[in-house]
Amino acid sequence: MIGRHFGPRTVFTRFIPPPDPVDMPGMWQRYYRRWEVMTRNQIDPRLLELVPELSAMVPPAIQIDKVSYSAFGQPALLDWLTRHDIDGIVVTGAETDVCILATVLGAVDLGYRVTVVTDAICSSSDPGHDALLELYSKRFSEQIDTVETHQLLDAWSPAE
């Protein structure tokens, strides 16, 4: 697994909803009024935890909570990357066409080298997932690398 391979350079981000729709700005209130069952006042808190396999990696990996789609929506990730003099990110996770899209474009905007691991991302929308994989590899080919897990692990040693 990629997280184990990179150990202390691994960052897990968790999407944490607000307790109540009014706790968010602007259109997020509309979103959470529509999906109020997903607010912290209603959702089972265990559903917000990292799955046990990932949680077992923290530490040395770190966990950063976010309240918006992009992992760059909160300053914690950028602060951590800056403190550790990191110039590229490897992206895995869920919702290719939502959180991953927002995070990838945020990283591109900030000038990071971005690698999307195509067999380590997923979406609840197959058409959205497929469209974004094509967009990442064709439209953003100068700023986003797309690889499969085996290619990533073959190319980068843990010491890099």
Which pTM does this prediction carry?
Answer: 0.91
> Domain 2-155 class?
alpha beta
Q: Alpha helices, DSSP H only, in the chain?
A: 2-6, 27-34, 52-55, 75-83, 99-109, 126-134, 149-155
* 56-112 per-position pLDDT tens digit: 999 999 999 999 999 999 899 999 999 999 999 999 999 999 999 999 999 999 999
**Domain residue ranges of the chain, discontinuous segments joined by +:** 2-155
The half-sphere exposure of 35 on its side-chain side, counting CA atoms within 13 A, is: 10
Q: Which of the four pLDDT bands, split at 50, 70 and 90, describes residue 158? A: low
* 65-77 per-position pLDDT tens digit: 999 999 999 899 9
| For residue 160, pLDDT beyond 50 | no
